[in-house]
Amino acid sequence: MNKTFEKLQPYLDKAMAFQTARNLFEWDDQTQAPFEAADYTSKVVGILADEYMKCLVNDDVKKLVKKLQEPKEQEELTQKEKAIIKELSKTLKELESIPPQEYKEFNELTSISNRAWAKAKKDNNYEYYAPYLKKIIEYKKKFAGYRAEKNQDSYEVLLRDYEECFGIKDLDLFFEKIKIEIVPLLKQVSKKADTIDKSYNYLKYDIEKQKEFCRYLSGYIGFDYNKGVIAESAHPFTLNLHNHDVRITNHYLENNLESAMFSIIHEGGHALYEMNIDDSLTQTLVGTGASMGMHESQSRFYENIIGRSEAFWAPIYNKLVDTYPENLKNISLEHFIKGINKAEPSLIRTEADELSYPLHIIIRYEIEKMIFSGEADVEKLPQLWNKKYEEYLGISPQNDAEGILQDTHWSFGEFGYFPSYAIGSAVASQLYAKILDLMPFEDYLREGNLTPIREFLRDNIHKYGATKNTNQILKDVTGEEFNPDYYIDYLKNKYEKLYEL
Amino acid sequence: MNKTFEKLQPYLDKAMAFQTARNLFEWDDQTQAPFEAADYTSKVVGILADEYMKCLVNDDVKKLVKKLQEPKEQEELTQKEKAIIKELSKTLKELESIPPQEYKEFNELTSISNRAWAKAKKDNNYEYYAPYLKKIIEYKKKFAGYRAEKNQDSYEVLLRDYEECFGIKDLDLFFEKIKIEIVPLLKQVSKKADTIDKSYNYLKYDIEKQKEFCRYLSGYIGFDYNKGVIAESAHPFTLNLHNHDVRITNHYLENNLESAMFSIIHEGGHALYEMNIDDSLTQTLVGTGASMGMHESQSRFYENIIGRSEAFWAPIYNKLVDTYPENLKNISLEHFIKGINKAEPSLIRTEADELSYPLHIIIRYEIEKMIFSGEADVEKLPQLWNKKYEEYLGISPQNDAEGILQDTHWSFGEFGYFPSYAIGSAVASQLYAKILDLMPFEDYLREGNLTPIREFLRDNIHKYGATKNTNQILKDVTGEEFNPDYYIDYLKNKYEKLYEL
């Protein structure tokens, strides 16, 4: 090993340990910590965060990183080490840019403002939340400003934090295409809503049986219980301590069969990504998914492209019917497949179907852009939100709780994050087009043999962790960088066929 | 606040944060971490342990502690701060005494030797484990030697780590009394074993219903679900992150009704102790139970003195019968009370009844003493063990798995720990005698009103955390220091009555 890198290793190891501990506290908080623990436990988490920062942002580490970026040292580094230095230098730049006092104030603010958001959502009272949101935005503008290059928009800085390959220009182009093609398509589909009945989905489904079936589904797609666990939380999520300890959660609704099943396939897709990262990268800065967009591409690939296909359900639909004969005995596989793919404009992003989903993202993207360019005042956001829902989805929220207040992201200061969800869907479609060229995809699904698909994703995407970025992965797998046309084509083909347009 | 103490505070906070994180990893490992996680996660835990050590054992802290022990500084400290300094100085002395390299080697050894023990127990192969045990004992002797005062026995040093008030002389006296009184009593009781039938206990008891009933029981004795959670693990245990986050586990056996019920009351007793520590002590070095013996006194008070009494079950036994009518409809309350108190010599400590329990402890205590005085070779331990079981309990293990290999403690280097269990039982009896003088204990139980009992324990014991030691607590509550006679009297009265001797 390079001597300079060797000197850096203990700092990296310490940062990894503190970060892993923070992750475990996060997991614990979401899944099982008692209600009253939070106030005291937050002190522990605060100290761990502080120690994490101190062990990376210090003169020793800065000197070592600077030295390791010199051409002579770079020559001696492996690909993995180079990727780690690149990632570390990015992290350092971000951590260093914010004066510690402001960083602390901001963390205190988001911890209060997240509670304010929850209260406002519960009480349907946007006015209560607005002053917090305003302050968060001020901090985010300031923080982005510290790192912005000359003439760079602050929103652009935030976007690149989640996806280094995508800026405002790329997303404008991407979303413009979607608007042109998908808004009219959704209107056509909406007119034929009555042709698909999914009333069966809202009957009563025993929760213990749902848990058991979801456990079966996760195993079926390849979730490895030696390297992972499933728990329950208010909102399903995936969290990894490292690639041998990947955790997903689910939630179960008695009157909604789909919800838990597709959540577990979605989170399972995230989990497979993390579980299949190469062991040589475990517990390093690049031992995790390449980006949020790339991560969503895997979860949405499993959830939608695999999980909502007829071929996937063909070998296992009987098992589902046998689990709930009272509800499903008269629902044919064909009927069920139509049901799980039914598209209808609705107000809540997390419950949206595959077709209308990107429109929810576009609304948030356009509003975020306006916030950071100064075109949208915090006070006016509810009206702006409602207007855009009317414009793109043809429906209007009855209140702010199902409108502007529905997502938790902004209350944590997460601006620029939403596009990842749409990027993920588009990346999934682009990968899918290539996979169809390379293997008898549908035949594998019909045979209940998901191994070749899982191995393809592992060998071409997962194992690299964050040593490649989204465009490098796409280029290597599909021969071209990000191309949103595949997504448009995929949605059009699928929904024109489903609704016989 | 005293200026010097103020300078110490950040070190204490950091140590608390690292220790809390280690506790959470321990909890997670025992309750839900996936199998393959261990090898990687142990690296995280190792780093946290190292950081914990470094933030306490350093010149700054040493100087501050030394200064804070000066009379002038002591005058300015509160009782709580004095207790913290005393505890810290003890911890420092212990951490400092061992050369870091040896400490590391020992930790590596115990992590391997615990696995070796598990394998040896599974395979009933003591020879496989013996070399590891030998090395552990060598380290423990050496480590105790570093701290031993002139002419002090190394086993005495280890004992005082768990109970500063109890040395070899005290325990010899205590255990001698037990042997004289209890060994013959148990023999008498054994002859009348047939007079109590508890075959009902080994019927089939649905595990989901057990869980529900145990949840009810824990709430009934006062476990606060806003400050605690219950999970499952191989062996029940209690762990606290702080007094607003106290966790207990249970395990459920389909063919043993008692096991889970009395485990949950036992762990519930530990949990009540931690939950009721005063908030002014939260997250400090004295914000936990006074000692292991004091802790066991609370768990065993709840499990045995409360939980195995007729008055406790009188108001709730019907609920248990209603939960399992098929098994219990013909078992009267009187029958059930006899069943849960049935005493019989058996080989496994953790499953022992209240009467024979201390004899299991005496066997371990006498063997540990012989190990550290050089009287017992590791190779000869199985024979020694079997001989003592024959002598005190009148029965002999069929194999080493149920003999010398049954407990995990030694594989972690925990020598001197076992007496805490017996001390706890004796302390519980001493407290019980006082409580009977002070309140209509049995009436409260019969009314299902456990609040006055819980509040008495909280106000006289729990709230002080570790600011008092075992003898101080006993003196303040009962007017005298540890007195084993109460325990002997309690056991004799109870069992003579139960078996009509």
Rounded to 10 deg, the angle between the B419-438 and B154-162 helix axes is 40
Residue-level pLDDT at B271: 98
Q: Could you tell me the two tokens for B176?
A: 């001698």
Give the one of B39, B44, B242 whose C-beta lies nearest to A20's C-beta: B44
Q: Which is catalytic among the residues B73, B156, B267, B354?
A: B267
Q: Residue B1 pLDDT > 90, yes or no? A: no
Closest approach of chain B CAs to the CA of A140, in angstroms? 29
B141 touches B372 (CB < 8 A): yes
Residue-level pLDDT at B304: 97
Judged by average pLDDT, the poorest of A98-112, A284-298, A485-499, B167-181 is A98-112
Q: What phi and psi, each to the nearest 5 degrees, are found at residue B499?
A: -100, 10
Q: Give the total number of structural domains in chain A.
A: 1
Please report, for residues A158, A161, A363, A472, the alpha-carbon distance to residue A419 in angstroms, rounded to integers and kept in the order given: 11, 12, 10, 19
How far apart are the two ends of chain A, measured CA to CA in Å?
61
A13/B contact by beta carbon, under 8 A: yes
Please report, for residues A121, A237, B452, the alpha-carbon distance to residue A263 in angstroms, rounded to integers and kept in the order given: 23, 9, 48
pLDDT classification of A173: cutoffs 50, 70, 90: very high
The tally of CA atoms less than 13 A away on the side-chain side of residue B105 is 13
pLDDT classification of B39: cutoffs 50, 70, 90: confident
The pairing of strands A228-232 and A245-250 is parallel
Q: Known binder of ligand: residue B409?
A: no
Q: Identify whether A409 is part of a domain.
A: no
Chain A hits for B40, CB-CB cut-off 8 Å, are 241-242, 244-245, 282-283
Q: Could you tell me the two tokens for A91?
A: 């992290």
Residue-level pLDDT at A486: 98
Q: Identify whether B91 is part of a domain.
A: yes
Give the pLDDT mean for A400-421.
Answer: 96
Residue-level pLDDT at B425: 98
Closest approach of chain B CAs to the CA of A82, in angstroms? 23
Please tell me what DSSP assigns to residue A159.
H
Residue-level pLDDT at B442: 98
> Containing H/E element for B228?
strand B228-232
Judged by average pLDDT, the poorest of B46-50, B419-423, B452-456 is B46-50
CA distance B321 to B328: 5
Q: Identify whether A20 is part of a domain.
A: yes
User: Which percentage of chain B shows pLDDT scores above 70?
Assistant: 100
Q: Residue B101 pLDDT > 90, yes or no? A: no
Residue-level pLDDT at B268: 98
pLDDT classification of A88: cutoffs 50, 70, 90: very high
Domain that holds residue B58: 3-97
Give the pLDDT mean for B119-142.
Answer: 97
DSSP string, B204-251: ---HHHHHHHHHHHHHHHT--TTSEEEEE-SS--EEEEETTEEEEEE-
A 30-59 → B contacts, CB under 8 A: 32-37, 39-41, 43-44, 47-48, 51
Q: Could you tell me the two tokens for A380?
A: 């006016």
Q: Residue B390 pLDDT > 90, yes or no? A: yes
Residue-level pLDDT at B297: 98
Q: Identify whether A440 is part of a domain.
A: no
Chain B hits for A20, CB-CB cut-off 8 Å, are 41, 44
Q: Residue B6 pLDDT > 90, yes or no? A: yes
3-state secondary structure A344-357: CCCCCHHHCCCCCH
Chain B hits for A275, CB-CB cut-off 8 Å, are none
pLDDT classification of A187: cutoffs 50, 70, 90: very high
Q: Known binder of ligand: residue A102?
A: no
**A124 Ramachandran zone, left/alpha/beta (phi>0; psi -120 to 50):** left
Cβ pair A242:B37 closer than 8 A = yes
* CA B445 centroid distance within chain: 25
pLDDT classification of B40: cutoffs 50, 70, 90: very high
Q: Identify whether B333 is part of a domain.
A: no
Q: Identify whether B34 is part of a domain.
A: yes
A132 touches A112 (CB < 8 A): yes
Residue-level pLDDT at B38: 87
Q: Residue A107 pLDDT > 90, yes or no? A: no
The tally of CA atoms less than 13 A away on the side-chain side of residue A124 is 7
Interface test with A, best of B14, B35, B54, B275 (most A CBs within 10 A): B35
Rounded to 10 deg, the angle between the B154-162 and B357-373 helix axes is 140
Alpha helices by DSSP H, listed for B405-464, are 419-438, 441-446, 451-460
Judged by average pLDDT, the poorest of A8-12, B83-87, B103-107 is B103-107
B369/A contact by beta carbon, under 8 A: no
Mean pLDDT of chain B: 96
Q: Identify whether B35 is part of a domain.
A: yes
Q: Identify whether A351 is part of a domain.
A: no
pLDDT classification of B100: cutoffs 50, 70, 90: confident
Three-state secondary structure call for residue B303? helix
Chain B hits for A246, CB-CB cut-off 8 Å, are 34
CA distance B338 to B330: 14
Q: Please give the interface size between A and B, counted as residue pairs whose CB atoms are below 8 Å apart.
A: 114
Q: Residue A394 pLDDT > 90, yes or no? A: yes
Cβ pair A40:B283 closer than 8 A = yes
B16/A contact by beta carbon, under 8 A: yes
Cβ pair A226:B39 closer than 8 A = no
Q: Residue A100 pLDDT > 90, yes or no? A: no
The CA R_g of chain A, rounded to the nearest whole Å, is 23
Q: Which residue of A has its CA nearest to B229?
A: A34
Residue-level pLDDT at B409: 95
* CA A60 centroid distance within chain: 35
Could you read off the pLDDT of B156-185 as tens digits, one per residue?
Answer: 999 999 999 999 999 999 999 999 999 999
Cβ pair B245:A35 closer than 8 A = no
Could you read off the pLDDT of A213-254 as tens digits, one per residue?
Answer: 999 999 999 999 999 999 999 889 999 999 999 999 999 999
Reading across the β-sheet that carries A238-242, which strands appear in turn? A228-232, A245-250, A238-242
Residue-level pLDDT at B115: 87
Burial B404-426 (b: 16+ CB within 10 A, else e): bbbbeebbebbbbbbbbbbbbbb
Give the pLDDT mean for B462-473.
Answer: 97
Q: Could you tell me the two tokens for B224?
A: 């606060």
B101/A contact by beta carbon, under 8 A: no
User: Which percentage of chain A shows pLDDT scores above 70?
Assistant: 100
- Of the candidates A274, A281, A269, the one whose C-alpha atom is nearest the C-alpha of residue A222 is A269
Residue-level pLDDT at B111: 82
Residue-level pLDDT at B195: 95
Q: Residue B104 pLDDT > 90, yes or no? A: no
